[in-house]
A and B are shown apart, each in its own frame.
Chain A
Amino acid sequence: QKEVEQDPGPLSVPEGAIVSLNCTYSNSAFQYFMWYRQYSRKGPELLMYTYSSGNKEDGRFTAQVDKSSKYISLFIRDSQPSDSATYLCAMSDFTGGGNKLTFGTGTQLKVEL
């Protein structure tokens, strides 16, 4: 079993829809949670990060962490065609002294006009 599970999609939604992306994890030592967006042939770009359970909002994006359920979510409101990309969740337990991240496989999102 992978430490981080993420539905690979693809997920196709109409423009303006609310998108929900999710990951589950098994390592209770994870304490730092991130969402990255990756466009084709580009490196991942950090969207959201949080250290604690609860919600964090940034514009159209809301990150939600539930440590008791080992479940994290990213919500995208008023989705746009430019949001079409692969979304990767990532987590860290800070072992080894660095910020070594464990990634999900990514969910491919397409927002259609």
Chain B
Amino acid sequence: GAGVSQSPSNKVTEKGKDVELRCDPISGHTALYWYRQRLGQGLEFLIYFQGNSAPDKSGLPSDRFSAERTGESVSTLTIQRTQQEDSAVYLCASSLVRNEKLFFGSGTQLSVL
């Protein structure tokens, strides 16, 4: 595709439910990143994929958060047993190779009620 695509663009869920957020990177981009942006705060790194492997998961805030990538393409970020503090915009970015410029999607706005 022409850019990084994320779905859904908005997600409202109830506390305790599981959610899945999807990212389609730019075709051919081998590196993929997930970030979280809370209201009024900068972006927080969550996880980095190189191909289908995740060499850096250091930003995942708890074991309720997990992510996978398949086919060196689509990635899914899963949040289990959502809490109100999980409310944020979740942004995905990709780059052609590691250490190159990141291109971001428009994000998924997650609201946990």
Residue numbers of A with Cβ under 8 A of B are: 4, 6, 8, 34, 36, 41-46, 49, 88, 90, 94, 96-106
Q: How far is the CA of A43 from the CA of B104 in the complex (A)?
A: 6
B80 within 8 A of A: no
B50 within 8 A of A: yes
Q: How far is the CA of A79 from the CA of B102 in the complex (A)?
A: 25
Residue numbers of B with Cβ under 8 A of A are: 4, 31, 33, 35, 40-45, 48, 50, 55-56, 58, 91, 93, 95, 98-107, 109
- The reply to whether A101 and B56 form a contact with Cβ atoms under 8 Å apart is no
- The reply to whether A43 and B91 form a contact with Cβ atoms under 8 Å apart is yes
Task: Report which residue of B93, B100, B102, B104 has the largest number of chain A beta carbons within 10 angstroms of its beta carbon.
Answer: B102
Residues of chain A within 8 A of B55, CB atoms compared: 96-98
User: Could you list 5 further interchain pairs (A-B, Cβ under 8 angstroms) beyond the known A94-B99, A102-B45?
Assistant: A90-B43, A97-B98, A98-B56, A99-B33, A99-B98
- The reply to whether B45 and A101 form a contact with Cβ atoms under 8 Å apart is yes
